[in-house]
Amino acid sequence: MNSTDPNLSERLQHLRNARAADPMPSWAARAKRLRALETMLREQRGPFAAAISADFGQRPAQETDLLEIFPSLSSIRYALRHGRRWMRTRRSLVSLAFQPARNTLMPQPLGVVGIIVPWNYPLYLAIVPMVDALVAGNRVMVKMSEYTPRFSALFAESVARYFQPDEVQIVNGDAEVAQAFSSLPFNHLLFTGSTAVGRHVMRAAAASLTPVTLELGGKSPAIIGPGARFENAVKRIMFGKFVNAGQTCIAPDYVLLPRARVDEFVDIARRVVGQMYPQLERSTQYASIVSDRQYQRLVALRDSALAAGAKVHPLSDAADDPSRRLLPPQLLSAVDDDMGVMQDEIFGPLLPLVPYDSIDEAIAYVVAHPHPLALYLFEQNRALIDTVLAHTMAGGVSVNDTLYHIAQHGLPFGGVGDSGKGGYHGEAGFRTFSHLKPVFRQARFNGAGLLSPPYGELFRRVVALLMKRG
């Protein structure tokens, strides 16, 4: 596909026509599509992991299983268990003045959903929105990332084998194709990526009044409270930060911790990383940075911080290896807000440490910055946990762990403010990609005629009664 693919509008229209022919797919049809997605994942598990690893240079299959295959399959199974109930028309209360009429809410598919997929988790961030859109009865058109070309091509080929072209369409192409894609008049558009690109996507979608869900990012803090189980906190932060070499939109982006414990954090972190990635320079379980561009950006962030007075704490004896895009885990201390590492989302294996003297200072620091996509709090005191939750704003929170709030089907996933708009996953995703159409059904025998002209004494009495009784 070239950068100005003329078929995008035609492909969208093909899906629109299919939707018009079957605007309310049965549960059997929806379940069949979900099972096709599950079969594809199970049968292509190995090839998908190999293609993603080839795109990254090295991406352990174990991480692809844990962070992409498993949660995708789990999302499908959850939708299959609950989707029939979600799609049922539900009763709604009728105001006393209008009884015995009947109110219902009818979940209706929006139509054709567009999904723009990033490169960092190209399988999971394609599949899960697809699950939510398909269980809601929609047709789907997906723009894959050009930065994972092997996987994107394989995914397109696989979808074409498991789905009809009037069910799901996969689009590949460069940034120009992505721009054209975001301008299409979808019934809903979901974008996952950076805040800067998210602004362009929302602007493009606005031209056709396409509603959007934006899953962006930002600087997600990890707060270690004064009552935290400190070593456990370090272990869980190391996991959340360094899987996929930090290329995770909800990875901890910096750590707020008691000033007296900075050195202790560094010592524990070095030991934990050594246990996670022994002989890291030869490890097959530590991911490479996805591209030369991203690698150079991260090195520049680190080096500019170092030049401005920050201190770098390597957590491994492995050296940088540009040829393999290997960037070992590193902590940074003595940072300040003027440094790039404290202004931009890092999206890599660099982790700044920001000391505080009181938890109120830590809370104030988070509040003074744009709302993050995730917040991680390590603390045992329930009152303090409640205080932090009440005073901070974030897209989602994990308490005494990292990342795992994204895997809860009963919780919506999404950002707030600079970190995103809207949410999905589970029933929340079903609702995002549905219109809950309100339907008022008037009873055969009713009092509506009492409120029609001419407005006489009877009208006055009825209105007075309504005013009194609400």
- List the catalytic residues: 215, 249
CA atoms within 13 A on the CB side of 279: 3
Do residues 313 and 257 lie in contact, with contact meaning Cβ atoms separated by under 8 Å? no
**Token pair 């549960």 in the structure block, residue:** 27
- Torsion, CA 367, CA 368, CA 374, CA 377, rounded to 10: -50
Helices first, then strands: H and E counts in the chain: 16, 18
- List of E strands, 216-373: 221-224, 254-258, 311-314, 330-333, 350-356
Instruction: List Cβ neighbours of 339 (8 Å cut-off, separation of 6 or more).
Output: 304, 305, 308, 310
Strand 311-314 and strand 413-414: the pairing is: unpaired
320-to-324, 327, 328, 467 alpha-carbon distances in Å: 9, 5, 6, 75
Helix (H, G, I), strand (E, B) or coil at 186: coil
Q: Which of 220, 251, 205 is nearest to 113 (CA)?
A: 205
* 147 alpha carbon, distance to own chain's centre: 18
Q: Which of 145, 141, 162 is nearest to 38 (CA)?
A: 162
**Token pair 């050594």 in the structure block, residue:** 274
DSSP state of 140: E
**Radius of gyration of the chain from its Cα atoms, rounded to whole angstroms:** 26
Q: Measured at the alpha carbon of residue 252, what is the angle toward residues 247 and 253, in degrees to the nearest 5?
A: 80
- Judged on CB neighbours under 10 Å (0-12, 13-18, 19+), 95 is exposed
Do residues 145 and 119 lie in contact, with contact meaning Cβ atoms separated by under 8 Å? yes
What does the alpha-carbon distance between residue 121 and residue 249 come to, in Å, rounded to a whole number? 9
Q: Is the dihedral of CA 140, 30, 213, 388 positive or negative?
A: negative
Q: Is the dihedral of CA 176, 179, 184, 189 positive or negative?
A: positive
